Structure 1
Amino acid sequence: MSAGDRKSPENGGKGQNSPFLSLARGATNVLDWSGRIIVAACLASMFVALLVNVILRYALGSGIPWASEIHAILLPWLVAGGLVIASARGRNIAITLLSDLLKGRALLGLNLIIQAIILIIAISVLWSSQPILKASQFQTLSTLGIKQVWGYSSLVYAFAAMALIAALNLFRALSGEDVANHDPQHASLS
């Protein structure tokens, strides 16, 4: 058995274990953690701003003027972080009927097609969002004075990360790793 033939312990013994596969898994984990950090920071910031605003409204009769505008920046980042987490964990919304029926090379082919489609869609969203990003550089939130491009840049983060994850998953699938988690125990978030 050569070094490239060793089975991957990270994937239940399916697929090869190589430094490049480990690097691909590590990069996906880094993107997963970046999404987690962004989601936690956005949720905490929005909650604290809302809580302080409510307390000030009841205590002083007037709240923080920018408390309603901060969500225009943080909510898109919250959604983007969630997209990256779901993509990194393979938990995107999916219909698994066909993949549940297929085995072996047919399943590998389906996984390759799915990852290629995700990659193409993510890159086309990045490409087509350029005019929106350029226009948002000239829009400013009235109270905060922050350019709206900071909120719209979450689009670049989310879809660039999704494209990178899809490319890494393509590489992993071509190496024989099952990138679609078919274990119902680990696939369900309920």
Structure 2
Amino acid sequence: MGKVTTGASMSIDGYIAGPGESGFDLLFQWYNNGDVEVPTAMPGLTMRTSAVSAGHLKRLFERTGALLVGRHLYDFTNAWGGRHPMDVTTVVLTHRPPEDRPLADENFVFVTEGIEAAVARAKEIAGDLDVGVNGGQMARQCLDAGLLDEIHVDLVPVLLGAGTPFFDGLAGGPVRLEGPVEIVPGDAVTHLRYLVR
């Protein structure tokens, strides 16, 4: 059985988005600041990162068998055009499944019964591989429910000053982590991995 992990590109002051959902150009700049192509399942989206970051992303993609996101991200990205760039089934936790889509297919599975049910469904889909949980609210819910095994941070050298924290409003804080158990210095990003105790 794989792990339940979360990860996000984060500013040094702890934000995964700036005010009004801004700052993504700065937080995701490392996805296109190199010469090594990292193809995705999304037509027209090929990342070009440093060799170090490309290796990091390749390992992450290989060990991820399903994703878990909230309805907000699903809508914000317009469902990634029909398939997540990581080319895995995405479980969407929502109170209101879209009326124009089936509740489950090879691209998206909609779960309405809460975070535990969503993680269980994602684990079932992932099999022996990991479940990747979107940062922000989904990650916080998993951490509060004791369902999260690892936290990955792509630390970007920028200060956003305000915005959306990676973890906001934890019910059981403070939470101590082990690590970093991995440090991968990329170009304009440092990839960090922590274990949840």
Largest Rg, 1 or 2: 1
Q: Settle same-fold status: TM greater than 0.5.
A: no
* TM-score of Structure 1 vs Structure 2, range by shorter chain: under 0.3
- For normalisation by structure 1, the TM-score amounts to 0.25
- The structure showing larger relative contact order (alpha-carbon pairs under 8 Å, at least 6 residues apart) is 2
What's the TM-score, normalizing by structure 2?
0.24
